[in-house]
Amino acid sequence: MVNFLSKTRFGPEANNVFKMPTTDFEQIADMGSSQFIDKVNDFITTFQSQQLPRLAELKRYYLADNNIKYRDTGRDSNRADNRIASDWAKYITVFMQGYMLGNPIQYEGDDNLVKKIAEFSQQNGADYHDGLLETDLSIYGRAYELVYSNANAQERVTKLEPEQTFVVYDDTIAADSMFGVRFYQIRFNKTDVRSYVEIYTADKIYYYQSNSSLFSGVKLVNEATHQYGAVPINEYKNNEERLGDFESVLDSIDAYDLSQSELANFQQDMNDAYLVLIGNPVTGTAEPEYATNADGELVLDDYGKPIPSENSSTDVFNDMLKARMLIMDNNNDPDGPKPNAFYLTKEYDTTGAEAYKTRLVDDILRFTFTPDTNDQNFAGTQSGEAMKYKLMGNDNLRKTKERLLSRGIMRRLRLLGNVWGIKSSVSTTNRQDDLYNAINDIQVNFTPNMPTSDEERLAELKNLFGVVSDETLFTLLSTFTGVDADDEMKRLADENQAGIDNFQAQTGYQTLAPDDGKADE
């Protein structure tokens, strides 16, 4: 643990991307060889020693287990030592996750392919899964998922823990993933610990195991083939630097925690202020100052500190501190004793302290592009356009995050498409297009979950009537109705037909048949 609010928080290698020369990997003939296992163990050791501490600290802040909890204050045991950790990290993460993915991701493209994606999403709870990925991205700056087939050969996707996963890329300009690594341990009791490593390549999965807590001792125990056509561990990045959403303001969060803690300490010390009594005769005159044993050596307590002799000056002073009293002697004053009694307190600059905390809050929100929902100007009565200006900084950040998230989702779809193509489980609407091209043409659409004025929104959509197609209009209206555009158009057509049928039944009048072109004779 680094000193509180000092020095560099993370090392220079804490967020590096692992790479390996392509030629070195191609020369590995046996994935169970000691040469390859040693190389993987080097990666794991580097990850644990240089990268895991950063990930663990970011997770601690998300759980409000901030560094203030571990601050060595050196305070006297009789003084307040509150350590209040704020939950800024979770506030920022929850806001960003909800803002980006509060509304499910929508896909546009080939109809049959979109239906297949929707089926896969429903079976795998993709909405919840994507939300978990965004949460990891906000915390760690990186997130991982595994695309795999279950025992029934059904395609599945699951999130992997960033503390136990990394991907090794090649040294080409394209920086393609060479293999993914998942490592973990299972502890059955204090002594029985087993280590597991899984290596995912473009066509196989290798399983390693050891009956110790050292990953260096793992041996290849099994291997399996997969048909996903690329490394099935999919890495997402929050930004090019792989930084978390609140990582840049950790120092400001620490400063806020310190301010809150010191305020609590002041309030507690004020409630337990020392009562000073002046004019009492001198007490605590026993000798020696500290207790000794028969050999004349100091007697120490459980903490290694000397024990004061009874009624010594130190013993009396300690009793005063416990009683929150300071009894002073001024009987030797040339002008005679001047008895007095008062509480010993110090002044607190309330205005200055609150201004300081306000500035810290502003900095935390500004540098993470998070709007202050407690701002009195951030009111629900404001227009949608005014709200957009307040969210503009966050909206600019969202665009970058969406592009990187879309890149990972498209890779997920390509992995799935390789298996769907082998199974022939989906055919494109346009028979001239192959599945690969159809997947590349898929559009991943995000709808930010932001507060809007329903009246303003509906007025805008009303003005679009006759300007855009009914399908487009119903698509925009789906955010209000919760009904898909195709279903809404079908419902409208059914209502129109029902109206026609009712009219004919009441009047006996027959309308023209759709392909007749002539009136009934």
Same-domain pairing of 367 and 500: no
Percentage of residues of the chain with pLDDT beyond 90: 48
Same-domain pairing of 495 and 446: no
Same-domain pairing of 192 and 56: yes
Does pLDDT of 264 surpass 80? yes
Instruction: Compare 158 and 386 and report the one with higher pLDDT.
Output: 158
- What does the pLDDT average to over 121-142? 96
Same-domain pairing of 133 and 41: yes
Does pLDDT of 199 surpass 90? yes
Instruction: Compare 137 and 477 and report the one with higher pLDDT.
Output: 137
Same-domain pairing of 238 and 320: no
Q: Which residues contact 403 (CB under 8 A, 6 or more apart)?
A: none
Q: Which residues contact 157 (CB under 8 A, 6 or more apart)?
A: 124, 126, 129, 145, 146, 147, 148, 412
Tens digit of each residue's pLDDT (9 = 90 or more) over 23-59: 999 888 799 999 999 999 999 999 999 999 999 999 9
Domain boundary among 426, 452, 478: 452
Tens digit of each residue's pLDDT (9 = 90 or more) over 434-454: 888 899 999 999 988 876 656
142-156, 322-336, 338-352: which is most confident: 142-156
- When mean pLDDT is compared across 22-26, 222-226, 394-398, 438-442, the lowest value belongs to 394-398
- What does the pLDDT average to over 230-251? 96
Same-domain pairing of 402 and 362: yes
Same-domain pairing of 397 and 333: no
The one-letter amino acid at 232: P
Q: Are 444 and 409 contacting, i.e. CB atoms less than 8 angstroms apart?
A: yes
Residue 365's Cβ-count burial label (10 Å; 0-12, 13-18, 19+) is buried
Same-domain pairing of 362 and 307: no
Does pLDDT of 161 surpass 60? yes
What's the confidence (pLDDT) of residue 519?
Answer: 47
Separation of alpha carbons 445 and 100, rounded Å: 11
Does pLDDT of 110 surpass 70? yes
Same-domain pairing of 367 and 251: yes
Instruction: Compare 515 and 269 and report the one with higher pLDDT.
Output: 269
What's the confidence (pLDDT) of residue 521?
Answer: 45
Place of tokens 């991205």: 137
Quote the tokens at residue 450.
Answer: 């932001």
CA distances from 401 to 54, 70, 133, 134, 272 (A): 21, 33, 12, 9, 51
Core vs surface per residue 229-254: b (16+ CB within 10 A) or e: ebbbbbbbbbeeebbbbbbebbebbb
- What does the pLDDT average to over 247-273? 85
Same-domain pairing of 433 and 335: no
Domain boundary among 400, 435, 452: 452
Tens digit of each residue's pLDDT (9 = 90 or more) over 187-198: 888 788 999 999
Strand residues in 141-239 grouped as ranges (E): 142-149, 155-160, 165-169, 177-187, 193-200, 204-210, 219-225, 233-237
Give residue 319's pLDDT band: very low, low, confident or very high (50, 70, 90): confident
Phi-psi region of 191 (alpha: psi -120 to 50; beta: other; left: phi over 0): alpha
Give residue 143's pLDDT band: very low, low, confident or very high (50, 70, 90): very high
Same-domain pairing of 241 and 376: yes
Same-domain pairing of 487 and 404: no
Tens digit of each residue's pLDDT (9 = 90 or more) over 270-308: 666 776 767 666 666 777 778 888 777 888 887 778 888
Give residue 87's pLDDT band: very low, low, confident or very high (50, 70, 90): very high
Domain boundary among 452, 473, 502: 452
**Considering its fold, how many domains does the chain have in total?**
3
- The alpha carbon dihedral of 255, 258, 262, 268 has a sign of positive
Does pLDDT of 359 surpass 80? yes
Domain assignment of residue 507, given as a range: 458-521
Give residue 84's pLDDT band: very low, low, confident or very high (50, 70, 90): very high
Residues in the chain: 521
Phi-psi region of 320 (alpha: psi -120 to 50; beta: other; left: phi over 0): alpha
The whole-chain average pLDDT of the chain stands at: 84
Give residue 166's pLDDT band: very low, low, confident or very high (50, 70, 90): very high
Instruction: Compare 316 and 90 and report the one with higher pLDDT.
Output: 90
Instruction: Compare 333 and 100 and report the one with higher pLDDT.
Output: 100
Does pLDDT of 127 surpass 90? yes
What's the confidence (pLDDT) of residue 454?
Answer: 61
Separation of alpha carbons 165 and 183, rounded Å: 7
Quote the tokens at residue 274.
Answer: 């020392």
Does pLDDT of 4 surpass 90? no
Instruction: Look at residues 400, 397, 375 and name the one whose alpha carbon lies nearest to residue 386.
Output: 375
Indicate the pTM of the whole model: 0.77
User: Parallel, antiparallel, or unpaired: how do β-strands 165-169 and 18-19 relate?
Assistant: parallel
What's the confidence (pLDDT) of residue 352?
Answer: 85
What's the confidence (pLDDT) of residue 509?
Answer: 66
DSSP 137: H
